[in-house]
Structure 1
Amino acid sequence: MGGRGRGVTLGSSPLRIVGVRYLNSRPLLAGLEEGMAAPFEVQFATAEPAACAQALSSGVADAALVPVAALPLLPAARVVPGLGVGCRGAVTSVLLLTKVPPERIRRLAAHTASLTSVALARLLLAERWGARPLVVPARPPLAEMLAEADAAVLIGDPALATVGASGLLEIDLGRAWQEWTGLPFVFAVWAAASATSPAVDALLDASLRHAEGDWERLVAHWAALHRLPVPQVRRYLTDILHFRLDGEDARAIQEFLRRAAVAGVMPALAPAASPLVAAPAVG
């Protein structure tokens, strides 16, 4: 994990928070990254999605932004209400790019650090197109991912730079999910160790409010950081994604986890661990 401590004390120990370093998570991390005032000491770091879930599971972190697909593996954690990364339809940053019709995909190149995107791709391929390809671990560039695979799941900045220009059959997984279910899709949520105080929820909510209160400056900053055009980043973070989750998002999470478990793509979520994300965060 990369990151830095912040001199911002939950008791005598600092609160350890891990976030995802991708553009789609920047608004949730804004206050934490910019060292906003907090009533206790915070140590903040960033990592890839799967590593965030592992940090929370192993006790290295007290709170983490975790892939929704990791929730069945985190039975001792609680979901922080009302905060996450969601879309309603096309997401533009999670793409299935294929050289063959989806029903003919036999080898799927994917960055396995992104648990939710890979699970969503496998679920859609199995249930919508009857394909159960072998998942081959791979990283961008796209040409290398496709060298020995029929298709690739491309996520994050590489997907944003490729969308509409790959020359391949391009399936936006956010749109494909909505077409299939009529629901939004949630990629990640904040989760915390069950013993953490509700003050943690308030801190994470304040981190997003920090972004909401200085949006244009931060959009320009994130665009420069990720080397993407400001208009594209503004549209992506303002119109395509949403970071405050409601009851429909909660239903979408439950439906994804249920369908993925039935399809054998993921383990089932224990009923007691069902994520309730519709309530507003403590503020």
Structure 2
Amino acid sequence: MELDSRIFIAGHRGLVGSAITKNLQNKGYGNLILKSRSELDLLDFTALESMFQSLKPEYIFLCAAKVGGIVANNTYRADFIYENLMIQNHIISLAYKYGVKKLLFLGSSCIYPKNAPQPMQEDCLLTSPLEYTNEPYAIAKIAGMKMCEAFNLQYKTNFVSVMPTNLYGENDNFDLETSHVLPALIRKFHEAKMQGKKEVVIWGSGNPRREFLYSEDMAEACVYVMQNIDFCDLIQGKQEIRNTHLNLGFGSDISIRELALLIQEIIGFKGELIFDSSKPDGTFQKLMDSSKLFSLGWKPKVQLAEGINKTYKWYLQNEAE
């Protein structure tokens, strides 16, 4: 990938895409194809193909997706599976049709079974049932990953899939109805502090454990993979060519209770924490084994407390009322 290569970042305004865009710009890549939803509807195949014909992207970061937390995933099940399938089907098929040199597809750790052995290795994919609350989203992401793998094997394309753990950072979604746990807690604690509340109620028991990766680390990893790791590197030594994706995680996890206490301290909320055990916990633990990617030359740098501090400062400047 050269500094003047034509690079399409699908979903460049979201948490993932904006971090990758910023990373590429900081590295001197100056020919980025950035289209907002009003400029290019990724659900519109005709409009998308027209863009491929006119701008001829050489590399693609497929970051665009409909995403959300437990409530959103469980409430808008049809929207999550339909929109994610359509977006990735359109972009992956057009990448093949128009000879894109390399595509990076981003999935999610929810592709793994609900009761997968911890830490989750790439080969535990499809070995047992998924967590029901986010099953439609997970199935869509599995389909996208397997679509990349299938195109590589049949058509000799170079489509690489990475499966990030829970991400957080600049341009995150802080909507309490649709956000993930970390940005939701930042907003809850901030508003409680500003309003002088005596308590903050948190869904679930607080016992489930989650792994978190700062968005800038994720972006650095994705650009590293695009620059240095090809599909052929991921199938060397494999007797059976399957599950060729890469886990992208931090390497350790934390309980929701510990996370809440950390965010409470950073924000400076002095009230009480109430854990509502009548609300769903979701999967108890989702820690990924990222040793394959680590062995290929990349490791995260930003510790959780530092990342939360950066994210809270961004929230204060851009989201807080």
**Same fold by TM-score greater than 0.5:** no
Q: Of the two, which has the highest radius of gyration? A: 2
TM-score of the aligned structures, taking structure 2 as reference length: 0.26
TM-score of the aligned structures, taking structure 1 as reference length: 0.28
Identify the structure with the greater strand proportion: 1
Larger relative contact order (Cα-Cα within 8 Å, sequence gap ≥ 6): 1
